[in-house]
Amino acid sequence: MTGISFTLNDKVRIALMLDDLGINYIEGGWPGSNPKDAEFFREMKNHPLSNAKLAAFGMTKRKGVNAKDDVNLNAILDSDVGVAVLVGKSWILHVREVLKVSPEDNLDMIYDSIRYLRDHGLTVIFDAEHFYQGFKEDPDYTLRIARTAEEAGASAVVLADTNGAMLPHEIYEITTKVVKEMKTMVGVHMHNDSGCAVANTVMGVLAGARHVQGTINGLGERTGNADLIQVIPNLVLKLGLKALRSLDDLKKLRAVSRFVYEAAGLSPNPYQPYVGDYAFSHKAGLHADGVSKVTRAYEHVDPELVGNSRRFVVSELAGSSNILMYLRDLGFNVTKDDPRLRHALERIKELENEGYSFDLAPASAVLIVLREIGVFRDELRIDYWKVVSDDDMHVAMVKVNGELGVAEGVGPVHAIDRALRSVASRLFPELNGVILTDYRVILPGEVKNTESVVRVLMEFSDGKTRWRTVGVSTSIIAASVAALLDGLNYILMINHYKGSR
Amino acid sequence: MTGISFTLNDKVRIALMLDDLGINYIEGGWPGSNPKDAEFFREMKNHPLSNAKLAAFGMTKRKGVNAKDDVNLNAILDSDVGVAVLVGKSWILHVREVLKVSPEDNLDMIYDSIRYLRDHGLTVIFDAEHFYQGFKEDPDYTLRIARTAEEAGASAVVLADTNGAMLPHEIYEITTKVVKEMKTMVGVHMHNDSGCAVANTVMGVLAGARHVQGTINGLGERTGNADLIQVIPNLVLKLGLKALRSLDDLKKLRAVSRFVYEAAGLSPNPYQPYVGDYAFSHKAGLHADGVSKVTRAYEHVDPELVGNSRRFVVSELAGSSNILMYLRDLGFNVTKDDPRLRHALERIKELENEGYSFDLAPASAVLIVLREIGVFRDELRIDYWKVVSDDDMHVAMVKVNGELGVAEGVGPVHAIDRALRSVASRLFPELNGVILTDYRVILPGEVKNTESVVRVLMEFSDGKTRWRTVGVSTSIIAASVAALLDGLNYILMINHYKGSR
């Protein structure tokens, strides 16, 4: 979609998460149009899926070309997956004005393309592009398209509202008519141009569709696709359908949603139904009191069911129980009523107002609490640092625990990272095995310019475990130093307490 | 809603914009709960509305109090508006567990409250809270609520899905039943907790509701309310209803949406249906080619109808037609077969492989093409730059076109931004009016650590037009310098060619 592209690595991680969530098919890309997508299918050979089937996308063959000679179709075969999602024209306007072939030729192109892939052993899901608009103009022709796909051996015929033009009642009416005519499973594929993608998907299912296409967080061209993060709980919790394997899978929705935002370089949408930070927020006071007593009077579903939690906007900090859990895991016994804990949580809240976010950086939150409780003192303490950067060179010097270090890097953050770690691993050789496995930069404020506050998220690994930290500053170097220092201090603390237990 | 409050001044401006848009009722606040809201009603005396009626919000009277002694109701009278929006309980669960009165007492409270305001000459719109959930549990009681409001003299009885729990088919079914029972106008009020607020509003109207409540951009508690910016064009353009006075009013939607975001301190949502920046964006080359030929084949409505416009974005998948269109808009006549154009497109592709993304930065792409074609030379050229950064201070020096500049900043990127711009605006005073309206940092590479390639996206404005650029480097400072320089060179180039035409 506009402005977003995923790295190969992130695409693999997302595929594995979707597999774990219980999604049936994962459309991994369009190997015929994009070499990066072909690379993804190759890489996925190293990551077997336990539940989902990997699918490659493509168009029906070009006019005047035999299916066996069509580059696009052969790229699907080359991607060596078991499932193809094939898109074809079903709106007579597109057949005539865009494709510029006769209605009969288009039917042949669809039949031949599906047949060719079926003959090579693939399962074929056929996406009938612009089906609903096509149906409104010429219902007979669109029905012939659907039947042709069925006859050619498609395992599902998917009705697509490609322009996102439809309203829910039209989707229900038209889908009902098509389902009646078909023996093959009918699917729906909705876009959000009228703001109805989720509702239209639900209406399609109510009309008998049993295959649903969508994207995580609705990410897609223009206004996006149907958001599976909203569609799935609607189907499971409100219509009682078995869209996932179990209710336990549903609890993964928030984590999946957040990971995809992060990989896309987007901030999560706090207003997103079901999984957003504000989705189950309640104003403090009488109302919040009411909520704790009669939750079903104020919440359409239990937030825990989708991996979310209730939030009271004033007073209590959401997630305090999370932090307690972390501390107990580490062997610190702190009770909920400990005034030092309360104090630490207030500090965390203050920092969150300044742009920190501990959702993805529990290690930094744990360090704040431990410092506040006074059981722990950072092993590594920076005396000062300085970076000099120009178009040729980046060099950093740093003084840590009284020791000087210096290093060059490919950028200012890389230079300070190397300088800081050179001293740290001299002082604590165990840090030699610690690597940075993830590094993200987000501008959390509403106004974004070069003066903005920068939030840096880091993930570390020592080969056995992974931990995440956060740093915030108007200087990306200072924010990176803070996150880096937290990351090193965290593992030193863990090792220290492990040793003493 | 969470995290948002409008200033008095902005509330007045929004009210005047809504009046101008052709909205019938503007609910200005809850005078009984918030002194700021009472102030707004006083201030509005100085700003007569030409079309809309101002309404004050309030709850039905408290139990055990006479309507004439109820503080809330009297606050509505004090606000001196002609219309009251009164909310009352209709779900038996709430009556019993939250309000803790008998079902009969609740009916009396509703009747007396409406009657009291009617006796003082007010038009009363009655909002039946949790109506749909109430109806599913006890249809008879909710219908008695609706009839009681009617008998007391309400001019509209509004069915509210207060928890946002409902799916479209339920809204249609229940609303149809209520409309049949009522002589009074029925309204709908939807929340977005199931992601269906817009669709549910449409379904309510299809079921016979003729009064619609919502908010601009859907701003509201939790996941928000029905977004009028999406509801209105659906009703007007797709259902042929007269929701505004004329099609000309519809063209104001994008401006209204953007003003409200701005006043709320939020960035506009580029994916918002109808009015978002990407709502009518087209990506692939072939596709964009098709769009110019048969717009209705690719767009659910004409973007101009809602004050929006078509956008073509440059991308990896794109052919040359997008960029040709940009160049022609600028007055450069380049043909599709020009070998220099082909060469430039190859260069763009190369850069995209290095981590550039021109989707959101067409200005940078245009500069590359113009440089390649040789018709243009960058006005600003950097000789060198240097940044010194530590935990206390960030200072940058830069030499541009032979002139030195120096500046401090809150971070290294801010410092170089200020230094570079100080020289640039000395050389080209017209750059004084150019501001940075967006700044994004993305790590596009496979592995993300401090050594990673950084992609910086910038958006600029000179008050009339906006343009976007991109810079890529392992150094965030160098990437920012590149994007900044492109941004300034782009507007200098535009102004130059405008001047020469």
Out of A94, A299, A443, closest to residue B297 by CB: A94
What per-residue confidence (pLDDT) applies to A219?
95
Rounded Cα–Cα distance for residues B422 and B441 (Å): 23
Assign domain B281-373 to a CATH class: mainly alpha
Whether pLDDT at B285 is above 70: no
Torsion region of A349: left, alpha or beta (phi above 0 gives left; psi -120 to 50 gives alpha): alpha
Specify the higher pLDDT residue, B298 or A240: A240
| CA A326/CA A345 separation, integer angstroms | 14
Interatomic CA distance for residues B230 and A224, integer angstroms: 14
Question: Which CATH topology does A8-213 take?
Answer: TIM Barrel (3.20.20)
Do B358 and B314 meet the contact criterion of CB atoms below 8 Å apart?
yes
Take residue B303 and report the two structure tokens written for it: 């973007």
Cβ neighbour number for residue B286 with a 10 Å cutoff? 12
pLDDT at B283: 66
The CA distances from residue B131 to A192, B12, B88, B215, B224, in Å, are 27, 31, 10, 19, 18
Q: What is the mean pLDDT of chain A?
A: 90
* CA–CA dist A258, A359 (Å, integer): 10
Q: Which two tokens stand for residue A191?
A: 């876009």
Q: Which amino acid is at B329?
A: D
Residue type at A461? S
Amino acid letter, residue A160: A
Strand partners, A27: A55
pLDDT (0 to 100) of residue B1: 41
Q: Which residue on chain B is closest to A238 by alpha carbon?
A: B167
CA distances in angstroms from B250 to A370, A383, B22, B301, B399, listed in the order given: 57, 61, 9, 12, 50
For residues B207 and B176, the answer to whether their CB atoms sit within 8 Å is yes
Residue B126 C-alpha, separation from nearest chain A C-alpha, in angstroms: 20
pLDDT band, residue A320 (cuts 50/70/90): low
- Average pLDDT over chain B, rounded to an integer: 90
Region label for B432, one of left (φ > 0), alpha (ψ between -120 and 50) or beta (otherwise): alpha
- Residue A125, judged by CB atoms within 10 A of its CB (0-12, 13-18, 19+), counts as buried
pLDDT of residue B318: 47
What is the C-alpha separation between B133 and B156, in angstroms, rounded? 20
Q: Which residue has the higher pLDDT, A310 or B243?
A: B243
pLDDT tens digit sequence for B466-489: 898 999 999 999 999 999 999 999
Letter for the amino acid at A51? N
Distance from C-alpha of B440 to C-alpha of B193, rounded to nearest angstrom: 30
Whether residues A452 and B439 touch (CB distance < 8 A) is answered with: yes
Q: Comparing C-alpha atoms, which of A1, A191, A267 is closest to residue B360? A: A1
Residue B331 pLDDT: 76
- Cβ-based neighbours of B294, under 8 Å, separated by 6 or more: A93, A97, A98
In degrees and rounded to multiples of 5, residue A189 shows phi and psi of -140, 110
Pairing of strands B466-473, B454-461: antiparallel
Mean pLDDT of A360-369: 83
Positive or negative, the CA dihedral A193, A195, A198, A204 is: negative
Give residue-wise pLDDT tens across range B247-281. 999 999 999 998 898 777 677 898 999 999 899 98
Q: Please choose, from the candidates B150, B240, B167, B252, the residue with its C-alpha nearest in 3D space to the C-alpha of residue B203.
A: B167
First and final CA of chain A: distance in angstroms?
51
The verdict on B286 touching A (C-beta cutoff 8 Å) is no
Residue B303 has pLDDT above 70, yes or no: yes
d(CA B494, CA B365): 14
* pLDDT-wise least confident of A133-147, A279-293, B192-206: A279-293
B80: left (phi over 0), alpha (psi -120 to 50) or beta: left
Q: Is there a common fold for B281-373 and B382-500?
A: no
Compute the nearest-CA separation of B406 from chain A (Å): 14
pLDDT digit string, tens, across residues B452-461: 888 898 989 9
* Rg for chain A, CA atoms, rounded: 27
Eight-state DSSP code of residue B19? H
The residues that bridge with B407 in the sheet, in sequence order, are B396
What does the block give as tokens for A249?
Answer: 């899978």
The tens digit of pLDDT for each residue in B126-156 reads 999 999 999 999 999 999 999 999 999 999 9
Q: Which residues contact A17 (CB under 8 A, 6 or more apart)?
A: A252, A255, A256, A259
Beta strands B394-400 and B403-409, pairing class = antiparallel
A 360-399 residues inside an 8 A Cβ radius of B: 382, 384-391, 394
Q: In whole angstroms, give the CA distance from residue B107 to residue B140.
A: 13
Which of A20-29, A474-483, B333-342 has the lowest average pLDDT? B333-342
Asked whether residue A321 carries a pLDDT value surpassing 70, the answer given is: no
The count of other CB atoms within 10 Å of the CB of residue A59 is: 20
CB contacts under 8 A, B 317-346 vs A, are: 317
> Which of B50, B247, B298, B425 has the alpha carbon at shortest distance from A191?
B298
**CA A437 to chain centroid:** 18
Q: How many residues does chain A have?
A: 501
Query: Buried b / exposed e across B231-254, counting CB within 10 Å, b at 16+?
Result: bbbbbbbbeeeebbeeeebbebbb
Categorise residue A123: left if φ over 0, alpha if ψ from -120 to 50, beta otherwise: beta
Does position A286 have pLDDT exceeding 50, yes or no? no
* Per-residue model confidence as pLDDT tens digits over B421-455: 999 999 999 999 999 988 888 777 666 788 888 88
Residue A92: which residues within 8 A CB-CB, separation 6 or more? A103, A134, A137, A138, A141
* Chain A residues inside the 8 Å CB shell of B270: 2-3
Chain B within 8 Å of A9 (Cβ-Cβ)? Answer: yes
Q: DSSP string spanning B212-271?
A: EE-BGGG--STT-B-BHHHHHHIIIIIT---SSS-HHHHTTHHHHHHHHHHHHT----TT
Nearest in space to A183 (alpha carbons), one of A212, A213, A214, A210: A210
Q: Are strands B435-442 and B466-473 parallel, antiparallel or unpaired?
A: unpaired
pLDDT in tens, B150-209: 999 999 999 999 999 999 999 999 999 999 999 999 999 999 999 999 999 999 999 999
Distance (Å) from the alpha carbon of A339 to chain B's nearest alpha carbon: 28
What's the confidence (pLDDT) of residue B445? 67
Chain B residues 27-46 with a CB less than 8 Å from chain A: none
Distance CA B434, CA B436 (A): 7
CA distance A486 to chain B (A): 15
Only one residue has tokens 């074609």, namely: B373
User: What residue spans of A207-361 are helical by DSSP H?
Assistant: 228-233, 247-250, 253-264, 286-293, 295-298, 320-330, 339-353
Please give the average per-residue pLDDT across A262-285, as a whole number.
82
> pLDDT at position A442, please?
80
Residue ranges covered by each domain of chain B: 8-213, 281-373, 382-500
- Select from A389, A410, A474 the Cβ nearest to the Cβ of B451: A410
* The pLDDT of residue A386 is above 60: yes
Q: Helices then strands (H, E): number in chain A?
A: 19, 15
pLDDT of B316 reads 44
Residue closest to A434 by CA, chosen among A491, A370, A381: A491
pLDDT digits (tens, 9 = 90+) for B86-126: 999 999 999 998 899 999 999 999 999 999 999 999 999 99
> Cβ of A222 and B97 within 8 Å?
no
CA A214 – CA A253 distance, rounded (Å): 14
For residue A425, which phi and psi values (nearest 5 degrees)? -80, -20
* Closest C-alpha among A77, A36, A28 to residue A55: A28
Q: Any residues with CB less than 8 A from the CB of A18 and at least 6 apart, and which?
A: A26, A52, A216, A256
- DSSP designation for B99: I
Is the minimum CB–CB distance between A353 and chain B shorter than 8 Å?
no
A72-81, A89-98, B292-301: range with lowest mean pLDDT: B292-301
CB-nearest partner of A223 from B273, B414, B473: B273
Residue A359 — very low, low, confident or very high, per pLDDT cuts 50/70/90?
low
Residues of B in contact with A188 (CB under 8 A): none
Which of B202, B294, B447 faces A168 most closely, judged by CB atoms?
Answer: B202
CA–CA separation, A289 and A304 (whole Å): 19
DSSP string covering A395-406: EEEEEETTEEEE
Whether the pLDDT of residue A288 is over 60: the answer is: no
pLDDT of A318 > 50? The answer is no
Residue A158 Cα distances to A27, A146, B444, angstroms:
14, 9, 33
Q: Identify the residue with better confidence: A403 or A268.
A: A403
The residue to which tokens 């958006």 are assigned = B459
Contacts of B221 in chain A (CB under 8 A): 278, 281, 283
pLDDT of residue B395: 97
User: Inter-chain contact B451–A34, Cβ cutoff 8 Å?
Assistant: no
Q: Do A298 and B163 touch (CB under 8 A)?
A: yes
For the CA atoms of B425, B426, B427, B430, the dihedral, rounded to the nearest 10 degrees, stands at: 40
For chain B, the straight-line distance linking the first and the last C-alpha, in angstroms and rounded, comes to 50
Nearest CA in chain A to B382: A391
The CATH class, in words, for B382-500 is alpha beta
